[in-house]
Amino acid sequence: MSELVVKGKIFFRGSFENCCICIDNGKITQIKKSLEGEKTLDFQNKLILPTGVDIHVHFREPGLTNKEDWYTGSVAAAFGGISCVFDMPNTIPQTTSVETINDKINIAESKSIIDFGIYAGITNDNFKLIEKIGKKCSGFKLFLGSSTLSLSFDKKHLRETFDLASISNRIILVHAEDEECLIKHKKIETNLSDHMRFRPGVCEELSINEVLHAAKGLNTRVHVCHVSSCEGLELLKKKPSNVSFGITPHHCLLNVKNNMGSEGLFKVNPPIRTGFDKESLFSCVKSGCVDVLESDHAPHTREEKIGDFDVVPSGVPGVETIYPMFLYFAKKEIISFQRLVSLMCNTPANLLGVSKGHFEPGYDADFIVVDIKKDCKIKSENLHSRCGWTPFENWPAVFPESIFIRGEKVIDDCEIQVKQGFGRFAGA
């Protein structure tokens, strides 16, 4: 007899079924109409879905813990139905060596309440060491355009770097804005419209074209992060099979002319763009041409984000709201549940090679319990990131009532059920 059986309306192979999940040692062992266990949790008519996997977060630790740390970031993620995140390397110090990767893993293992992976930043100085670094990290990050604490990398090394990465079988994630193009357009910015004009879509288009050319004919898996423009989107619709791309909620739901509050709060790289860009991206999310939804959770304090626009740091929080917002869209049949689970769970887990995001035997027993009737308005005071604000104030959402990770209850009825350090490194 199994340790735990979970009953409810389970999202299994594309639709909701009244059935049971059998769990032993934190893994799914069976899914059947009826099962018996030592302990049974019957959620009746509530929905049971896979947890989200967010492949793009900045939890800011080490070095920037006034904005976020591994505990506050992981708590925010858990309350948003995310069981595993992958953290970017632009911390202080930057995560660019085996030593700094080990240091960040140790910090996360002591503080995170969810599972995690760690990216290594690739620079002009370390790209020839990819094979060594790749034995420890979950993947690599390249900045082809400057952003917050970005790591310097010259695009002339791109093809060689992609080729070297294939040896370690690690995915490379790319911030695709062409640096020469950004320098050409750079001017003093006073508002969001300036930020959009001075980081134009053509800079993203040029960079994505370079990425696609460099990746052609290689086995390397390449992921283009946070696509923001129609120009970039059109190029990626013809991408080869080894290239994937992601879209964030802020790029597909917000536009430069329709934002609430101080404009500095909405400053992000690449920029929030026009209504046409936004609608094109959201249409892609609904239709299936994009591979993943990613939050690009990049918290700064409200105080840092309000002031002289030109010096306000770029980035918005989002790890706690990404899944709940799209659960609301699924409830309203704006997007299908099948599409949502693919974007938030199945494909991100597949790209990073973690045994999550699926209800199948052998996968981690990671799931959320949702009362789909209970939607609410997003309020900053109810969220858990240290930064204390959201670009989606008053947007509708459906937050999970409970989240289980490896068969263990982590959040239940708005209460944390585990201690710091419950989270595990998801593996290299």
Tokens representing residue 232 in the block: 């970039």
Instruction: Please indicate whether residue 296 is annotated as part of the active site.
Output: yes
Instruction: Give the integer Cα–Cα distance in Å for 182 and 178.
Output: 6
Tokens representing residue 340 in the block: 């949502």
Tokens representing residue 424 in the block: 């595990």
Beta bridge partners of 12: 15
Instruction: Give the integer Cα–Cα distance in Å for 428 and 425.
Output: 8
Catalytic residue among 296, 366, 375, 412: 296
Cis peptide before 396 (omega within 30 of 0): no
Instruction: Give the integer Cα–Cα distance in Å for 86 and 90.
Output: 13
Instruction: Give the integer Cα–Cα distance in Å for 275 and 233.
Output: 15
Lookup result for tokens 């199994």: 2
**Which residues have CB under 8 Å from 279's CB, separation 6+?**
none
Cα-based angle 226, 399, 37 (whole degrees, multiple of 5): 115
367 with 356: CB under 8 angstroms? no
Instruction: Give the integer Cα–Cα distance in Å for 244 and 224.
Output: 6
Amino acid (1-letter code) at residue 396: P
Tokens representing residue 326 in the block: 């799209």
Cis peptide before 271 (omega within 30 of 0): no
Q: What are the C-alpha distances in Å from 380 to residues 63, 214, 272, 427?
A: 24, 42, 21, 33
Instruction: Give the integer Cα–Cα distance in Å for 122 and 127.
Output: 6
Of 165, 100, 101, 153, nearest in space to 123 by CA? 153
424 with 393: CB under 8 angstroms? no
Q: What are the C-alpha distances in Å from 378 to residues 68, 134, 333?
A: 20, 39, 20
Instruction: Give the integer Cα–Cα distance in Å for 324 and 397.
Output: 5
The residues annotated with a catalytic role in the active site are 296
